[in-house]
Amino acid sequence: MKILVINTGSSSLKYQLMDPDTQEVFAQGLCERIGIDGRLTHKIPANGAKYEFDIAMPTHAEAIQAVMDALTSAEHGVIKNMDEIDAVGHRVVHAGETFACSVMISQAVIDALEECIPLAPLHNPANIVGIRACQKVMPNTPMVGVFDTAFHQTMPPRAFIYAIPYEYYTKNHVRRYGFHGTSHYYVSRRAADMLGRPIEELKIVTCHLGNGSSVCAIDGGKSVETSMGFTPLDGLPMGTRCGAIDVSIIDYLMQTHHLSIDEVMDILNKKSGVLGVSGVSSDFRDIEAAAAQGNERAKLAIDMFCYKTTKRIASASAAMGGIDAVVFTAGIGENSAELRAQIVENLGFMGIKIDPAKNNVRGVETDISAADATVRTLLIPTNEELVIAQDTARLVRGE
Ligand code: AMP
């Protein structure tokens, strides 16, 4: 079976054509600068080939067409024609409380996702445009929506309710939703496999630490608590996002600097996090390099990020009344041995200890626990595309 996985951003579109059963990736790539000019990077993992093209992409429809042309091209294609694509799986960020699992896309589903646009104004419109663009080019191919929020719909009310007047929840849907669900789901299942134990028996804390970061408590395979909230701005400090702050800061900054609410929200979304504190970069590689050269603010940004992640791991464990394993994934979690070590440094009292030699690894599934640890610490590269492809295949097969 060949499934095309599509992840649409406001000016970008990532794709991967893969077999969900053998996990073979036939081709993958990225359309960038949609609506500006247009650039396609197309890769074929089997032979390591990489192609780059400048293609006019005034809208996502041209981007999807460019992907189709690349996939079916005589020179660098991997399929003869589009009929070889059995189904398309779309990543969608926000499904509100409507969908707790992946679904076949129908007009009713698109209508429901449009209703969620106020909850994710930056992400959902692009996701919907991506679905429509695909439907236009492939009108007869089944499409499936896989939602970042779906995995967290198992959170109990005590975890998802905010302490504000209840009618803002009932009337305006203001509650904690959580994101990165596909990643937390994937790494928790791989963790159970690595530990050789049924997921139903395990209490796992998964740490998705990348440009966006979140921690999730997974009890018996279900998300019961996560650090992101109503939007992906909540929780841990991130590359450019502030994470959880005292909301009074918003009003104070507006008054002190005569800023509009849009300007303050822009600061909190795009100029805060480790970028804001370090003044160096949103990328941890740059910040680690600056810290190594003695930059005090870069060091502070790292210390702050690790400290808050440490506290989140402990509080996620408290939410479950225990912990069997902690998992590190995504760009930072998979690559930075230093940050992993710093994050768990203070968690020895909970039985979380890592072996420095085993921790000296990147990007490969590894049990990095110390011999005397009572909680396993695992490094597991995430694979959201695989979950999307497998969910899509399952729904198309009617399983
Ligand atoms: P992601 O959003 O999962 O793609 O993660 C991207 C982030 O991972 C980058 O912005 C970097 O901050 C971080 N990252 C990637 N590689 C490394 C590395 N070798 N060391 C530290 N951080 C890294």
- The model's pLDDT over 107-144, given as tens digits with 9 standing for 90+, comes to 999 999 999 888 888 788 889 999 999 999 899 999 99
Q: Residues with catalytic annotation?
A: 148
DSSP string, 89-113: EEEES--TTT-SS-EE--HHHHHHH
286 pocket-lining for ligand 1 (C-beta < 6 Å) = no
Angle between helices 296-320 and 284-292 (to 10 degrees): 120
**308 neighbors 243 (Cβ within 8 angstroms):** yes
Query: 239 alpha carbon to ligand 1 midpoint, in Å?
Result: 9
Query: 380 alpha carbon to ligand 1 midpoint, in Å?
Result: 14
Alpha-carbon gap, residue 94 to 333, rounded angstroms: 24
The reported pTM is: 0.94
Query: What pLDDT digit, counting tens, does each position of 168-198 carry?
Result: 999 999 999 999 999 999 999 999 999 999 9
**Three-state secondary structure readout of 110-132:** HHHHHHCHHHCCCCHHHHHHHHH
Whole-number pLDDT of residue 42: 98
| Ligand 1 atom nearest 286 alpha carbon | 12
Query: 108 alpha carbon to ligand 1 midpoint, in Å?
Result: 38
332 pocket-lining for ligand 1 (C-beta < 6 Å) = yes
Mean pLDDT of the chain: 96
Residues in the chain: 399
3-state helix, strand, coil in the chain (%, to 5): 45, 20, 40
3-state secondary structure of 360: coil
183 pocket-lining for ligand 1 (C-beta < 6 Å) = no
65 pocket-lining for ligand 1 (C-beta < 6 Å) = no
Query: What pLDDT digit, counting tens, does each position of 217-261 carry?
Result: 999 999 999 999 999 999 999 999 999 999 999 999 999 999 999
DSSP H or E run through 137: helix 124-137
Task: Please measure the distance between the N-terminal and C-terminal CA atoms of the chain and give it in whole angstroms.
Answer: 15
Whole-number pLDDT of residue 219: 98
Q: Whose CA is nearest to atom 10 of ligand 1?
A: 283
Residues with Cβ < 8 Å from 330, sequence gap 6 or more? 180, 183, 208, 209, 210, 213, 382
CA-nearest of 2, 49, 8, 7 to 25 is 2
Query: 210 alpha carbon to ligand 1 midpoint, in Å?
Result: 6
CA angle 139, 142, 143 (to 5 degrees): 100
331 pocket-lining for ligand 1 (C-beta < 6 Å) = yes
239 pocket-lining for ligand 1 (C-beta < 6 Å) = yes
Q: 3-8 and 13-18: which strand pairing?
A: antiparallel
